[in-house]
Structure 1
Amino acid sequence: MTASPETLYDVIDATWPAAEKWTDGPWTFRKGLGAGSRVSATTGSGTLADLPAAEAQMTALDQPKLFMIRHGDTELDEMLAAQGYVIKDPVTLMSAPIEPIATDRPPAVTTFEVWPPLAVEREIWLEDGVGPARVAVMERAECQRMTILGRLDDTPAGTGYVGIHNGVAMFHGLVTLPRFRRRGLAQHMIRAMAFWARENGAEEIALLVVKANGPANALYQRMGFEHVADYHYRIKAE
């Protein structure tokens, strides 16, 4: 059974957690420590009268005035647009049952389960723009978690992180170095994640992908992942 949008939003928070998260009135705030929008965005259902308090809190955190607009947040989206907030990074949430993904195991010595992340994985992520602040997100997650190191030509060629929450595995930070792309490594790493997730009790595997990333969207659809929901951010145009 496909997880609901609300379930997947919870999985995001559990597998890719903010340094701090708390609710004050109609808003839920996140302290991201420089690790990107997902762990810094404010969510909730506040009205125009509640907006100044939210903006003041984000300013106090030294973070951009940034909201995540999730499934059903139409009124919030319209209100923020009227206040000069612009759309940033539309994202698709996709999921699939574990069984059709955990089919053929990757070829020998192509993928390895690793925790904690190795120095070479950190180097691969850094080359793709996933710096220490984002690796710290993986390290502070309290869920079951693992990284998958991918190798081609006896060389570390890619990596990714996967966590499990309430029976749903979600992967993040999937990277194949440019010189190793178009050789199937991303698919091997995803299948390795699915095998690990199934062995650790997950029944479903999910992901989030920026809509503008055409090659990644095409890969996930070919593998059998289906659209569940969308979200985007609204950021104040200063």
Structure 2
Amino acid sequence: MFQGPTARVLTGAAAAVAGLALATPAWAASGASLNPSHKGSTAANFQQECNDKRMAGRQADQDGWHFVLPGGPSAGGFASLSLTFNDGVSDVYIAIPDAHDAYPDAFYEAGGRQIHAYLFTPAGWTLKDGKAKVTEQAAFFNLSHTCAGTPSTPDPEPSTPAPTPSTPVDEPTPGPSEPPVDEPTETPSVPVDEPTPGPSEPGQEPSETPGTDPSAAPSTPAAGDEGGLPVTGAAAATIALVGLGLVGGGAAMVMMRRRKVTFTS
């Protein structure tokens, strides 16, 4: 075994190697977070530097974002970034670099280190959070400055008048059908010759002739009604017959008298 100064040198060397073995994985997995004071920023309310020449490719309806890794050479440089934005409806996750998404991005070096990152997003988005992979060690990275764009206004769609709902018409519910009623056919009235009333016996009332309108015939008061008018038709006929009988009898007596006189002479 080694003793004295040699042993101490070997012990120190072993400790240094062990320390390197433990530290190396930590450097390889080093990450940095977005500065907490920059979370929740929009391009319009942050420090704007639209004269930055690297913002020249930005469209009018895009926001430009510039991120920077502070700390000097000990921080190394950006390997990648993962950023979270909100578009007003939902969260949007963007990776830098990514040549296949709809958000232009780029890294730029300074002093041999890749410490600048640029990103263009639709105007009006909010930066919520971010993570970065760095080649050395760094606790955080910053949003350096922005250049705000103007949110695009979608073309209004032609308004189509809403169809007016038709009001249903309540149709009457058919009820049970009634059988047709046969209306009586008018039969032309044939005038009926009314017989001439003959002489009636005294005390006998003339009977109504069938087919005559009872309302048209004179009403005969009922027998025994007091205060009614006398029946004159039967009395006149009776008087006429009696008169004719008397006249006929008188004529017969005159002719018999004449014959008697002639016979005597």
Fold in common (TM above 0.5): no
The structure in which a higher percent of residues are helix is 1
The normalised TM-score by structure 1 is: 0.23
TM-score, normalisation: structure 2? 0.22
Q: Greater relative contact order: 1 or 2 (C-alpha under 8 angstroms, separation 6 or more)? A: 1
